[in-house]
Amino acid sequence: MQWIIALLLGLAFALLLPPTIVAAKKSLRGKVRLAGAVVIIGLAFGGLFDPARAAAIETIQKKKELEDTEGSEAELLD
């Protein structure tokens, strides 16, 4: 589902920005800016939709929940 959202957002950028892209391709300065923008967008999507990151966050949350439940059990025993 997340990849579909990413694809749709990418398509929206492609459809909404053609005049800007064409103008940027005409000059060297524009090419450098365009390349920077592409890298930033790629990093943003990579960070948002990275499955390894999502798995790591889920693992950390499970460990915290386990520690919380163990802590509450220890308090009950005291």
Full-model pTM = 0.39
At 20, the amino acid letter reads T
CB 62 within 8 Å of CB 69: no
Domain with 14 in it: 2-77
3-class DSSP state of 50:
coil
In the DSSP assignment, the letter for residue 27 is S
**Measured torsion, CA atoms of residues 13, 14, 15, 21, in degrees rounded to the nearest 10:** 100
- How many structural domains are present in the chain? 1
The model's pLDDT over 7-62, given as tens digits with 9 standing for 90+, comes to 888 888 777 777 666 666 666 666 677 778 888 888 777 777 777 888 888 999 99
